[in-house]
Amino acid sequence: MSIARHHRQKTLAEKESQSRSEQGLQMNASQYELMLAQLKTHQRQLSKIQSLSRRATVKSEILSDYDAYVEGVLSAGAGHQDDVLMTVMVWRIDAGDLEGAMAIAEYAIQFNLAMPERFKRDTATLIAEEIADAFLNHNIDAKVPLAQTVELTKDHDMPDEVRSRLHKALGLALSEDDKANAIVHLKQSLALNPRAGVKKTMEKLQREISSES
């Protein structure tokens, strides 16, 4: 996308988000509707791909088409429900762009935005689960986003198993550089789910701390 087109799309998204705030949810053929149509086209494209790794690659390639729109919506700060924005958040996680995903996640939690129905989870649960899985299943460097997610979702209801998995992920991510805090999060994981599978790691870290003192 050219710099001029990026700027124009960002400006349109920002203005429209502000306009929706002033006029309620009633819209004309709008930037949001155009982006929603583009999203549906990309969803059809992705639905034809069976390989999860290939899907992640394609998402990486198409995500830049949404960057200016996302920037505009976040800058406007109007807090309207936005299925394009919420889908892009998930795609950014899938593509390994956790920093970009967290920018949307913070906005979504602030304004209590819901996930599109097809995701079958509330927003806080999805963020916690997907950020944890990005580290646990795909070994993506996630110490900062994991810590952000723990803080961001601490007051939100979710299944104990999901929060346990989030603390487990952060504990493991910290286990090399901050053993004491790693144990804190692993203990929280175990308290929430006795089958979390963290006992041996906790014992190992405790032995290492003892040997270093």
Q: What is the pLDDT of residues 1-34, one digit of tens each?
A: 566 555 556 566 565 655 555 444 444 458 999 9
What's the mean per-residue pLDDT of the chain?
A: 91
Contact 120, 156 (CB under 8 A): no
Three-state DSSP state, 198: coil
**Residue 185 vs residues 101, 105, 180, 182: alpha-carbon distances, Å:** 23, 22, 9, 5
Count CB atoms within 10 A of the CB of residue 139: 8
pLDDT tens for each residue of 153-182: 999 999 999 999 999 999 999 999 999 999
Confidence class of residue 90 from pLDDT cuts 50, 70 and 90?
A: very high
pLDDT (tens digit, 9 = 90+) per residue, 194-205? 999 999 999 999
Q: How confident is the model at residue 209 (pLDDT cuts 50, 70, 90)?
A: very high
- Residue with the bigger pLDDT between 96 and 19: it is 96
Token duo for residue 18: 């502000």
- Name the burial class of residue 157, with classes exposed (0-12), middle (13-18) and buried (19+) by CB atoms within 10 angstroms of its CB: exposed
**May I ask the CATH class of domain 121-213?**
mainly alpha
Reply yes or no on whether the pLDDT at 56 is more than 50. Answer: yes
Residue type, 205: L
CA-to-CA distance for 14 and 77, rounded, in angstroms? 8
- The predicted model scores a pTM of 0.86
CA distance 188 to 190: 5
Q: Domain residues of the chain, as ranges?
A: 1-21+30-115, 121-213
Q: What is the mean pLDDT of the segment spanning 125-149?
A: 96
What number is the average pLDDT over the span 28-54? 92
Q: pLDDT at position 26, please?
A: 45
CA distances from 73 to 35, 100, 108, 191 (A): 12, 14, 11, 39
What's the average model confidence in pLDDT over 110-135? 97
CA distance 175 to 185: 10
